[in-house]
């Protein structure tokens, strides 16, 4: 299939470029059809947010960076979409915070696991967990194939970053006492509502900012990082994101009334 050439000055160039990246991932067997649909849902919420990182999202990014730096056994979970959209940032974030990278797919197949791992490796990843027989431990309370995790990774992790996720696994990981960080454009999704920290933002904006924040705070005293995490309330932060959308829509509608 042909790739469309996107004019750099096109007002929606970045959004169109992302679609082409995901389409390429689909053709390479990395992204599933459902991943394309999930992206469309994300795009709709991104429109409502004004396609920028909001103040509550920035706050959640700061808290997530601190939580990852404080973690003893952090893991970054990667699915098809994330491996296409932000592979470089996944690898860099793992380096900065000392996290393991684990492939965990909802629509699991051996070929896809290997394809996602190969893509991450092509961006410099070393060890990639969760592939093939390595995913031999079971998360209880989960029916989907996401329940198979790596005994050296997600099973024993204290903090897990699950960008662009479906809700069940977040709930299962939380019930095991783990800190779950997510990036989800939909503040109403089950994942967003269940996670310990939800960054309501597009992964393509949030991941580079998360890397930057982790780089900036690396070396900061444990007490000071602990203070950042301690004061955070995810429900309050989600309410701020929802209010941000509501206020924005009210302003837009008021400006149309004035016209």
Binding site for ligand PTJ (CB under 6 A): 32, 34-35, 38-39, 41-42, 45, 79-81, 85, 105-107, 164-166, 183-186, 189, 202-203
Give the residue nearest to ligand PTJ (CB).
42
Q: How far is the CB of 219 from ligand PTJ (least distance, A)?
A: 29
What's the CA gap between 168 and 162, in Å, rounded? 12
**Toward ligand PTJ, which CB reaches closer, 38 or 161?**
38
Q: How far is the CB of 11 from ligand PTJ (least distance, A)?
A: 19
Q: How far is the CB of 174 from ligand PTJ (least distance, A)?
A: 17
| Beta carbons within 8 Å of 220's beta carbon, 6+ residues apart | 66, 69
14 in helix, strand or coil? helix
**Toward ligand PTJ, which CB reaches closer, 172 or 203?**
203
What's the CA gap between 87 and 106, in Å, rounded? 18
Q: How far is the CB of 170 from ligand PTJ (least distance, A)?
A: 11
**Toward ligand PTJ, which CB reaches closer, 164 or 172?**
164
What's the CA gap between 150 and 154, in Å, rounded? 6
Strands (DSSP E) contained in 58-167 are 74-78, 100-103, 128-129, 137-138, 148-149, 159-161
228 in helix, strand or coil? helix
Q: Are 178 and 195 in contact (CB under 8 A)?
A: no
Q: How far is the CB of 228 from ligand PTJ (least distance, A)?
A: 23
Q: How far is the CB of 108 from ligand PTJ (least distance, A)?
A: 7
Checking DSSP bridges between strand 137-138 and strand 148-149, what pairing results, if any? antiparallel
Checking DSSP bridges between strand 179-183 and strand 128-129, what pairing results, if any? unpaired
What's the CA gap between 161 and 184, in Å, rounded? 11
**Toward ligand PTJ, which CB reaches closer, 169 or 225?**
169
**Toward ligand PTJ, which CB reaches closer, 34 or 251?**
34
**Toward ligand PTJ, which CB reaches closer, 144 or 220?**
144
């Amino acid at each position: 299939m042909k790739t469309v050439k996107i004019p750099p000055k096109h007002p929606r160039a970045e959004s169109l470029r992302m679609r082409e990246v995901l389409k390429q991932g689909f053709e390479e067997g990395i992204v599933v059809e459902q991943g394309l649909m999930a992206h469309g849902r994300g795009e709709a919420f991104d429109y409502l947010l004004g396609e920028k990182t909001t103040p509550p999202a920035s706050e959640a990014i700061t808290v997530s960076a601190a939580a990852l730096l404080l973690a003893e056994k952090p893991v970054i979970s990667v699915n098809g979409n994330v491996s296409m959209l932000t592979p470089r940032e996944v690898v860099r974030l793992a380096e900065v915070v000392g996290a393991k990278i684990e492939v965990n797919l909802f629509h699991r197949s051996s070929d896809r696991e290997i394809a996602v791992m190969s893509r991450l490796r092509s961006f410099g990843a070393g060890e990639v967990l969760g592939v093939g027989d390595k995913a031999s431990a079971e998360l209880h309370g989960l029916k989907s194939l996401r329940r198979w995790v790596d005994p050296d990774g997600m099973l024993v992790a204290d903090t897990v970053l699950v960008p662009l996720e479906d809700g069940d696994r977040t709930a299962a990981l939380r019930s095991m006492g783990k800190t779950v960080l997510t990036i989800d454009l939909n503040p109403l999704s089950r994942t967003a509502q269940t996670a310990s920290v939800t960054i309501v933002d597009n992964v393509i904006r949030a991941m580079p900012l998360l890397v930057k924040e982790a780089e900036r705070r690396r070396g900061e005293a444990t007490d000071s990082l602990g203070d950042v995490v301690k004061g955070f309330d995810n429900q309050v932060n989600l309410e701020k994101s929802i209010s941000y959308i509501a206020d924005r829509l009210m302003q837009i509608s008021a400006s149309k009334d004035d016209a």
